[in-house]
A and B are shown apart, each in its own frame.
Chain A
């Protein structure tokens, strides 16, 4: 058993086929992602069967490219094989799990199961190939993970040690962006489209409600989605909206989402005495959310760590980062590892 610190990671939980090679949980040696965005754009959402088929077609080329890109010529250099085993789409997860499992078996390497959500948090540890060293995120910290499938707040007091604070009780934030984007006649995925439209808003008069969910750290976006639909219907429906009105509605909607996310994250950091805030997940690529959480962090005098956009969305480097800490903590899976589509972060 080698202690090279080099982890080979495989991620196929949704619609990106991804393989990465990461050193000591931080330095990316290679990260390859084959994304099906263009395939799903036409359907306005992910079709699980389409996603699963594409994974099976692309897993070998993606793996081979990551291996070659990392300059790995011999399995003796690899300490472990990490793979996402949930949460995610069952048919998609199965492809990565069984491929990774078989490679670990063939080469006699430990197989390390990684929770996809934990991967999004650990993206904050990653360093690009030529990026200068920087300190690892300090504990305790607060992580907000926001994506098309997930919205939750968690406190970490040490590696792999999570205290779940709250999550969405209905739609994920990214899902709300997609749905309202469609109502506004904007292209899929909705997140970037709404951000772009909102940036062009001249008037900022349309206000949408905020779901504060009492004093909890939970989130709810379904009421906001309904309010947006009513507002659009009241103005004659999707097809009747002039571009400046689309921009104004997009702005109002985005403000409501961002306000709730940033406020609760800031509050959690303050109350727990966090020494840093981490943002992760695809919606973390939203510049307005980043700026608003950055303000909160600055007020508390703590750093905000947001991976660059390509590391916020699904990738395998983040699984390699979490996988390294799991490897060293002794987490192992046996040959019967199966997909866990609704795997929670804690429990």
Chain B
């Protein structure tokens, strides 16, 4: 892996994927094929230390998985919305990996990844006392359901993204879905597992109901939910968030790495790849004090 040859040697469906998310206080990395349980994964409380920990943890996981950098076929990165500092670290790292390894980069909305992970986790038996065990059951047999992911946008505001479950809902929870119980377990059994989309090959798909919105601190989330089940991430101690929603949020963070890999694999199979240069976080809002995105960039090649 020394050359600068152009990207494009990736063949959809082959190679290992590296999934990274840094939008929440818990960072997530997973290494796997996107089908079945990841070969290695970790979800940890990074707080504001993403910059120090992300690449070091990735290196550990690569060793743990026994996978070399040259085996990596694509990078899947959560793009938020979420904490700006974390997202900058995550995306700068994801871009460095994709650009450096000449492999495709796929950006997945972190809220989408969290919604997928929450759906997968809520129906699993889980270990005794695990968050998944106490999560409200996701009864998908009653037709299309909706799920909403909320997470902090600074100390008071929140991001809210709503999704409609469009297919595969009936399969969720039957078997094979990784959750707290089996995500991260490695070996033959893990490699044979069928993945978050469930046992019968019908993929779990989510369709965004609208773009993620910013809900100001003084405004309640509940009226915006309509019938959606709330997945509350990093919102403990904030008003108007039920315990069930918090438990689901915590479970979603735990399964986020696996969910990103699965979503990334689907995107790759569709040929849906992002431009490594142009991919930026989903910021939702303009920088404070800025009312419009104006201005240009002046380039100096300075090759004299």
Tell me, yes or no, whether A binds B.
yes
| Chain B nearest Cβ from A9, distance in angstroms | 13
Given A49-B287, A57-B278, does the pair A106, B298 have CB atoms closer than 8 Å? Answer: no
Would you list which residues of chain B between 75 and 98 have a CB under 8 Å from chain A?
84-85, 88-89, 91-93, 95-97
Given A94-B85, A95-B88, does the pair A102, B289 have CB atoms closer than 8 Å? Answer: no
Which of chain A's residues have a CB closer than 8 A to the CB of B84? 49, 52, 91
Determine whether B290 belongs to the interface, using a CB cutoff of 8 Å to chain A. Answer: yes
Q: Please state if B276 and A60 are interface contacts (CB–CB under 8 Å).
A: yes
Given A63-B99, A129-B303, does the pair A40, B2 have CB atoms closer than 8 Å? Answer: no
Q: Please state if A36 and B4 are interface contacts (CB–CB under 8 Å).
A: no
Q: Please state if B52 and A338 are interface contacts (CB–CB under 8 Å).
A: yes
Docked complex Cα distance between A84 and B177 (Å)? 44
| Chain B nearest Cβ from A108, distance in angstroms | 9
Docked complex Cα distance between A94 and B281 (Å)? 14
Which of chain A's residues have a CB closer than 8 A to the CB of B138? none
Given A49-B287, A67-B4, does the pair A39, B297 have CB atoms closer than 8 Å? Answer: yes
- 8 Å CB contact of A54 from B51, B52, B99, B297: B297
Would you list which residues of chain A between 99 and 143 have a CB under 8 Å from chain B?
99-103, 105-107, 128-130
Determine whether B227 belongs to the interface, using a CB cutoff of 8 Å to chain A. Answer: no
List the B residue with the shortest CB-CB distance to A60.
Answer: B277
Would you list which residues of chain A between 287 and 342 have a CB under 8 Å from chain B?
310, 315, 334-339
Q: Please state if A38 and B2 are interface contacts (CB–CB under 8 Å).
A: no
Which of chain A's residues have a CB closer than 8 A to the CB of B289? 43, 47
Docked complex Cα distance between A328 and B303 (Å)? 26
Q: Please state if B92 and A335 are interface contacts (CB–CB under 8 Å).
A: no
Count of A-B contacts judged by CB separation below 8 Å = 160
Docked complex Cα distance between A100 and B97 (Å)? 10
Docked complex Cα distance between A336 and B49 (Å)? 9
Docked complex Cα distance between A337 and B297 (Å)? 28
Binds B, one of A27-35, A147-155, A161-169: A27-35
| Chain B nearest Cβ from A30, distance in angstroms | 6
Q: Please state if B280 and A310 are interface contacts (CB–CB under 8 Å).
A: no
- 8 Å CB contact of B287 from A53, A63, A101: A53
Q: Please state if B277 and A53 are interface contacts (CB–CB under 8 Å).
A: no
Determine whether A158 belongs to the interface, using a CB cutoff of 8 Å to chain B. Answer: no
Docked complex Cα distance between A33 and B303 (Å)? 11
Which of chain B's residues have a CB closer than 8 A to the CB of A39? 294-297
Q: Please state if A36 and B295 are interface contacts (CB–CB under 8 Å).
A: yes
Binds B, one of A69-77, A179-187, A263-271, A278-286: A69-77
Would you list which residues of chain B between 239 and 297 have a CB under 8 Å from chain A?
276-278, 280-281, 283, 287-290, 294-297
Docked complex Cα distance between A42 and B294 (Å)? 8
Q: Please state if A38 and B51 are interface contacts (CB–CB under 8 Å).
A: no
Given A60-B277, A99-B92, A103-B100, does the pair A75, B2 have CB atoms closer than 8 Å? Answer: yes
Determine whether A59 belongs to the interface, using a CB cutoff of 8 Å to chain B. Answer: yes
Q: Please state if B95 and A74 are interface contacts (CB–CB under 8 Å).
A: no
Docked complex Cα distance between A120 and B89 (Å)? 26
Would you list which residues of chain A between 36 and 95 have a CB under 8 Å from chain B?
36-43, 47, 49-50, 52-54, 56-61, 63-65, 67, 69, 72-76, 90-91, 94-95
Q: Please state if B56 and A336 are interface contacts (CB–CB under 8 Å).
A: yes
Docked complex Cα distance between A93 and B122 (Å)? 39
Q: Please state if B53 and A38 are interface contacts (CB–CB under 8 Å).
A: no
Q: Please state if A74 and B276 are interface contacts (CB–CB under 8 Å).
A: no
Q: Please state if B295 and A40 are interface contacts (CB–CB under 8 Å).
A: yes
Q: Total interface residues on B, using CB and 8 Å?
A: 47
Docked complex Cα distance between A49 and B99 (Å)? 24
Docked complex Cα distance between A242 and B304 (Å)? 41
| Chain A nearest Cβ from B55, distance in angstroms | 4
Determine whether B301 belongs to the interface, using a CB cutoff of 8 Å to chain A. Answer: yes
| Chain A nearest Cβ from B9, distance in angstroms | 15
Q: Please state if B295 and A41 are interface contacts (CB–CB under 8 Å).
A: yes
Q: Please state if B100 and A107 are interface contacts (CB–CB under 8 Å).
A: yes
Q: Please state if B295 and A99 are interface contacts (CB–CB under 8 Å).
A: no
Q: Please state if B51 and A97 are interface contacts (CB–CB under 8 Å).
A: yes
Q: Please state if B99 and A98 are interface contacts (CB–CB under 8 Å).
A: no
Which of chain A's residues have a CB closer than 8 A to the CB of B129? none
Q: Please state if B276 and A31 are interface contacts (CB–CB under 8 Å).
A: no
- 8 Å CB contact of A310 from B51, B278, B302: B302
List the A residue with the shortest CB-CB distance to B304.
Answer: A128
| Chain B nearest Cβ from A112, distance in angstroms | 16
Q: Please state if B55 and A32 are interface contacts (CB–CB under 8 Å).
A: no
| Chain A nearest Cβ from B293, distance in angstroms | 9
Which of chain A's residues have a CB closer than 8 A to the CB of B52? 336-338
Which of chain A's residues have a CB closer than 8 A to the CB of B53? 336
Given A65-B301, A102-B55, does the pair A52, B88 have CB atoms closer than 8 Å? Answer: yes
* Per-residue A-contact encoding for B89-113, CB less than 8 Å = 1, 0 else: 1011101110111000000000000
Q: A56-B91, A74-B3 are in contact. List 15 more A-B contacts (CB 8 A).
A: A31-B302, A32-B300, A32-B302, A33-B302, A35-B300, A56-B88, A57-B277, A61-B277, A72-B4, A75-B2, A94-B51, A95-B88, A98-B93, A101-B93, A130-B304
Mind listing 17 A-B residue pairs with CB under 8 Å? A32-B300, A36-B295, A36-B298, A42-B294, A47-B287, A47-B289, A50-B290, A56-B281, A58-B277, A67-B4, A95-B92, A98-B89, A102-B92, A102-B97, A106-B97, A107-B1, A335-B55
